[in-house]
Amino acid sequence: MVQSIPQLITVDEFINRYGDDNRYELIDGELIDMEPTGPHEQVAAFIGRKLNVEIDRQDTAYFIPHRCLIKLLGTQTAFRPDVMVLDQARLVNEPLWQQEPVITLGASIKLVVEVVSTNWQNDYARKAEDYATLGIPEYWIVDYLGVGGREYIGKPKQPTITIRHLRK
């Protein structure tokens, strides 16, 4: 059996081709189909709605973008979180923000939320590492179906919300 090698693309190619397509993200040059389901979108929307209420209540300069990528500088990786809270005051330092909704600096991001689906390994391991490296202070992993590995959510597997404080 012949195994095909995935066609790698650059972050710039990804942004040009798929920047507005919420179905894909890029990891190490490989296009990842996130395969969101209706319930997945419902959970993400619920979280976003509740966070917006709290942002309004606290009267902060934070907001939740509808379409936004996190580009890891020096890599061919661009994540598309399910929910992200940005600090409007920090966007003046973002080199790409005026041209496209792409964040490159962890200081601009207050919170990232990933709703777990079929690609749970990326949410629990890879993204947690990369978000910590970027300096994002808080990362929530919402595993509403309990599909993550036992080393992450325990045994028996059950729906879990993991809150990680990545920056001290």
Q: Does any domain span residue 20?
A: no
For 59-89, the pLDDT digits (tens) are: 999 999 998 999 999 999 999 999 999 999 9
Q: Does any domain span residue 85?
A: yes
Phi, then psi, of 134 in degrees rounded to 5: -70, -20
Q: Does any domain span residue 15?
A: no
Q: Does any domain span residue 59?
A: yes
E strand or H helix that includes residue 39? helix 38-58
Q: Does any domain span residue 110?
A: yes
The rounded distance, in Å, linking the Cα atoms of 160 and 128 is: 16
Q: Which domain holds residue 61?
A: 36-66+81-165
pLDDT number for residue 5: 62
Q: Does any domain span residue 50?
A: yes
Q: Does any domain span residue 92?
A: yes
3-state secondary structure of 115: strand
Q: Does any domain span residue 29?
A: no
The answer to whether 135 and 167 have CB atoms below 8 angstroms apart is yes
Split into its structural domains, the chain has a count of 1
Name beta bridge partners: 63.
Answer: 86
For 85-111, the pLDDT digits (tens) are: 999 999 999 999 999 999 999 999 999
For 132-161, the pLDDT digits (tens) are: 999 999 999 999 988 777 666 677 778 888
